[in-house]
Amino acid sequence: MAPDSGTQGTTLTHNANEQQPLLGGSSQPRYADVDGNTTAIASDGNQNGGTNDQERATPGTFTRNLGAVEAFAIVISIVIGSGVFTSPGSIDANVPSPGVALVVWLVGGVLAWTGASTLAELGTAIPGEGGIQPYLKYIFGDTFGFLAAWTWVVAVMPATLAILSIVFVETIYSAAGVVGEGHKLDHKLWSVVILALVSVANSISTKASTRLNNFFVVIKFFTIAAVVLAASLVVLIHVVDPKDSWKINKGLDWYQKPWFGYRDSVNADGSITHWEGLGEWETLGHLSAALYGALWAYSGWDKAVYISAELSQPARQLPLAINTSIPTIIICFLVANASYYVLLPWNLVSATDSVVVTAITRLLGPAAAIFPAFLICMVVAGSLLGNSFVAGRMAVAAANMNWFPSIFCVVGRVGFETSQSSNGEESPAESPDSSKETQSDAPVNAIILSAVLSALYILLGNFRALLTFNGLGEYTFFHLVVVGAIFLRFREPALRRPYKPFILIPVTFALVSGFVVVRGALFAPQQAFVLLGVWAFGLLFHAARTWYWRTV
């Protein structure tokens, strides 16, 4: 599609005029307006100039048949996952007290809320499918959109799947009383096996996968409710008879120790952090690492914009869904984590990545731990299945944008799929409305790519290092897209914004997320260098593909 040749002050109005990116080449997509009047989105592989036969127009995929209630439920389903059951240990190890841990959970939730509100502004002003990628492409140009897609496909989603696979296996070991051995090869190999099984299951049927969603949502709420109920009973028993309370809970740290008093943290590897001896800068580094754990638990808040194309009135329903679901999630996470500190001695919270199983094992004995372990495994399996599902679709979307090889567009089989067209030429894949039936409607090649990358992360990394790596990858681009939203307010003040939060909301997110990314990179240089390597390789890949399509 040819770019708008007018002045750079051109704005996107209700009739979807074309845009010039802030840092861009000559080709730019066209976006539908908030009422869905324009559904075509042009995508090309030559953002930096020129046109080729690969330029494609992608029609809108979804029907606008969802309301605010459905959007609320979807956000709840995505965000409340394994993080609330697995992140408390990594957070507690990086804070000086349980009270500060709860503050970190609150700050993480508020940060997610401000980010989601800003994305709601972009989602109602620049509708389109694909999450933050189309926003970055619109604001900064094709290269930034590609780099976001590349990071999600190659780094963020595989790291997420690796973390969930590790958590699944560690939950089983925790139920057997084995903790702190996630670095061993047998643990890693079992995690790879679980990942492979989920990937195979996701390659069978989309319908079967999606039907499990409501079941897993019920399991999530039931598990949180069970934890809160157990802690409430412990508190009630202590009020009635303090001696019986000690016998049942085998410790009263929650009652006897100050919630905001300094105490030494016992790490998963057995080392001890002496908080009183740390300097301010080093303390900030630990707090930023703790915030990564909270952000991992809240991950998925950005997914609300993925359903904006399916809302019947997105300008009203998308903000309403965000501003009700995120506070609900924050409350759930706070009460669950407060319950952990009631159920467990405080020196055990930081030493486990499966706090629920550890708490129930200590409270009721090893035999009773089987039930919570089963619940957590079900929650993690649901998250694994859902994230594997999304990861495959992200690779397909990137291939449809001509950012990835067309092999990842193929569905229903492994390898290339060719069909004979009417002019005798071969096309790489069947069209979506082809009458040819396949045994599967899953993007098997894309799922295999995600599984292979995830397996490498499992073998080469560990749970807490991957948390930081995942946070660096995600929040670098979250920060960038929110900064872009702020720029757009000044660059394009006439841009139609059905939802426009107060300017301090995106500014707050930009400042905090920027600090978290910079300080996190300094505090975890190994993960930062790996991420830089991923970006460098991605840029070389993008440049090579751009050069190739210019020459063919």
CA distance 90 to 467: 9
- How many other β-carbons are positioned within 10 Å of the β-carbon of residue 248? 14
CA distance 314 to 419: 39
| C-beta separation of 252 from 238 below 8 A | yes
147-182 b/e (C-beta count within 10 Å ≥ 16 → b): bbbbbbbbbbbbbbbbbbbbbbbbbbbbbeeebbeb
Q: Is residue 306, in this structure, part of any structural domain at all?
A: yes
CA distance 508 to 102: 20
pLDDT in tens, 392-427: 777 877 787 788 887 877 766 676 664 444 344 444
| Count of structural domains, the chain | 1
Q: Is residue 483, in this structure, part of any structural domain at all?
A: no
pLDDT of residue 285: 77
Q: Is residue 506, in this structure, part of any structural domain at all?
A: no
**Tokens found for residue 146:** 């590609």
CA distance 2 to 10: 15
1-13 b/e (C-beta count within 10 Å ≥ 16 → b): bebeeeeeebebe
Q: Is residue 147, in this structure, part of any structural domain at all?
A: yes
Residue located via tokens 């550890």: 358
CA distance 217 to 213: 6
Residue positions counted in the chain? 552
Query: 206: pLDDT confidence band, cut at 50, 70 and 90?
Result: low
Q: What is the CATH number of the domain that holds 433?
A: 1.20.1740.10
Side chain identity at 102, as an amino acid letter?
A: L
H runs (alpha helix) in 61-141: 68-79, 83-92, 98-125, 133-140
Q: Tell me which H or E stretch contains 426.
A: strand 426-427
How many helices and strands (H and E) does the chain possess?
Answer: 20, 6
| C-beta separation of 143 from 546 below 8 A | no
Distances, alpha carbon 177 to alpha carbons 78, 113, 253, 336, in Å = 30, 37, 22, 22
pLDDT in tens, 439-494: 556 777 888 888 899 999 899 877 778 877 888 888 899 999 999 999 999 999 98
- Mean pLDDT (the chain) is 75
**Tokens found for residue 225:** 């409710």
56 by DSSP, 3-state: which?
strand
H runs (alpha helix) in 176-279: 185-202, 206-211, 213-240, 242-249, 253-256
Query: 100: pLDDT confidence band, cut at 50, 70 and 90?
Result: very high
Query: 11: pLDDT confidence band, cut at 50, 70 and 90?
Result: very low
Q: Is residue 489, in this structure, part of any structural domain at all?
A: no
Side chain identity at 463, as an amino acid letter?
A: F
Distances, alpha carbon 474 to alpha carbons 148, 185, 236, in Å = 9, 28, 41
**Domain extent for 167:** 41-461
Q: Is residue 533, in this structure, part of any structural domain at all?
A: no
pTM, entire model:
0.73
SS3 content of the chain, % helix, strand, coil (to 5): 65, 5, 30
**Tokens found for residue 222:** 């039931």
pLDDT in tens, 305-321: 766 656 677 777 778 88
Per the model's pLDDT, the better-predicted residue between 517 and 308 turns out to be 517
Q: Is residue 432, in this structure, part of any structural domain at all?
A: yes
**Tokens found for residue 524:** 């975890």
CA distance 309 to 211: 21
Task: Decide if pLDDT at 239 tops 50.
Answer: yes
| C-beta separation of 153 from 131 below 8 A | no
User: CA nearest 355: which of 227, 247, 523, 249?
Assistant: 227
Q: If you average pLDDT over residues 79-93, what whole number do you get?
A: 82
Q: Is residue 330, in this structure, part of any structural domain at all?
A: yes
Distances, alpha carbon 152 to alpha carbons 47, 62, 467, 486, in Å = 20, 22, 14, 23
pLDDT in tens, 336-375: 999 999 888 888 888 776 787 777 777 777 777 677 778 8
Q: Name the least confident of 31-45, 234-248, 376-390.
A: 31-45
Task: Decide if pLDDT at 535 tops 90.
Answer: yes
pLDDT in tens, 121-132: 888 887 655 568
Looking at the DSSP bridge assignments, the partners of residue 427 are: 419
Exposed, middle or buried: residue 375 (CB in 10 Å: 0-12, 13-18, 19+)? buried
CA distance 55 to 516: 38
